[in-house]
Amino acid sequence: MSVSSSLAATSARARPGWRAVLLALGAAAAVLPAFLLSDYRLFQLTTVGIYAIALLGLNVVTGYNGQISLGHGAFYALGAYVGAILMADYDVPYWATLPAAALVCAGVGYAVGLPALRLGGLYLALTTFALAVAVPQILKYRGLEGWTGGVQGIVISKPDPPAGLKLSPDQWLYLFTLGVAALAFLLVWNLLRGRIGRAILAIRDHPVAAEAMGVPLARFKTRIFAVSAMLTGVAGALGAIAVEFVAPDSFSFQLSITLFVGLIVGGVASLGGAVCGAAFIVFVPNIADQVSKAAPGAVYGVILIAFLYLMPDGIAGLAARLARRAGFD
């Protein structure tokens, strides 16, 4: 997977003209729905953008760095609550909550990663699993009720578009999310293409060799985990703004599992995979409900296992293979 994406990168670099055209077309295709779709469809697309940022975060640590996290929902929740508390209690403007959520989540991510990541193996998966299960309980805790609003949660209001722009709040939120997502993807793409990116992949593919080459494993892994938690936290803050509400039960263990499923189905270690996975998360629950009203979770689980068997590189991997067969490379 990593090899093919770096190949794609070199071939694109050889043709800078094509690349600029493709980027411009992509940007246009992303902006256009804001003026074409109904508010409901637009809200769905906004959600796709938000989950794409969250999955990008998870992909950095689990896909590219090979450290399995089953608890990224915890960071999504933390980001959402930081955003909601700042907006509701301190009248912070919505856009300023994102950097705050980023900082807090990076700090907490670092703290969680520190004990779990100096050891190899499945310790991170275990710790994050426990974290994900414990989060709703912490959010409901009476001692924190002054901040979190306990079981009731916090209601916030949808931001107005900047004065002078003739947009509806939903249109503005979509464009705002799109901007944040573009920034996040640019940041990760930039992080992955250089020396640090090679170290990240080396740690996943052969930790012993990476260490022998002078890559400080534990230090890298904890920092990457912090970056990953930061991205997912920003997505959480955006999510809170989009649904105008946070409550403990929206951040159950199920959310972490959903993110994990989105990661695998979208495509591990692929930037495009984060977008595909996000689309899966948003649109497939409806389909799963149609397949089996009684057991949508089972449909989800079967899809997950089927992907691991039949298409371990996910939707993005399939798309890349089809594109290569069609001669686009």
Q: Which residues bind other proteins (CB under 8 A)?
A: 62, 66, 68, 70, 112, 115-116, 118-123, 125-127, 129-131, 133-134, 137-138, 140-142, 208, 211-212, 253, 257, 260-261, 264, 268, 292, 294-302, 304-305, 308-309, 312
* Minimum separation from the CB atom of position 300 to other proteins (A): 5
Query: 275: buried, middle or exposed (CB in 10 Å: 19+, 13-18, 0-12)?
Result: buried
* Minimum separation from the CB atom of position 63 to other proteins (A): 8
User: Residue 70 or residue 226: which is nearer to other proteins going by CB?
Assistant: 70
CA 243, 184, 113, 300 torsion-angle sign? positive
* Minimum separation from the CB atom of position 71 to other proteins (A): 10
Q: Residue 17: what residue type?
A: G
Query: 8: buried, middle or exposed (CB in 10 Å: 19+, 13-18, 0-12)?
Result: middle
User: Residue 234 or residue 288: which is nearer to other proteins going by CB?
Assistant: 288
Q: Residue 98: what residue type?
A: L
* Minimum separation from the CB atom of position 245 to other proteins (A): 23
The answer to whether 78 touches 136, Cβ cutoff 8 Å, is no
The answer to whether 168 touches 39, Cβ cutoff 8 Å, is yes
User: Residue 128 or residue 232: which is nearer to other proteins going by CB?
Assistant: 128
Query: In angstroms, rounded to a whole number, what is the distance separating the alpha carbons of residues 261 and 258?
Result: 5
Tokens of 97: 């909550």
* Minimum separation from the CB atom of position 216 to other proteins (A): 13
Query: In angstroms, rounded to a whole number, what is the distance separating the alpha carbons of residues 178 and 45?
Result: 10
User: Residue 58 or residue 278: which is nearer to other proteins going by CB?
Assistant: 58
* Minimum separation from the CB atom of position 264 to other proteins (A): 5
DSSP secondary structure string, 230-263? HHHHHHHHHHHHHHTEE-GGGGSHHHHHHHHHHH
User: Residue 115 or residue 169: which is nearer to other proteins going by CB?
Assistant: 115
Q: Is 159 left (phi over 0), alpha (psi -120 to 50) or beta?
A: beta
* Minimum separation from the CB atom of position 80 to other proteins (A): 19
Query: In angstroms, rounded to a whole number, what is the distance separating the alpha carbons of residues 118 and 218?
Result: 5
User: Residue 55 or residue 175: which is nearer to other proteins going by CB?
Assistant: 55
User: Residue 294 or residue 326: which is nearer to other proteins going by CB?
Assistant: 294
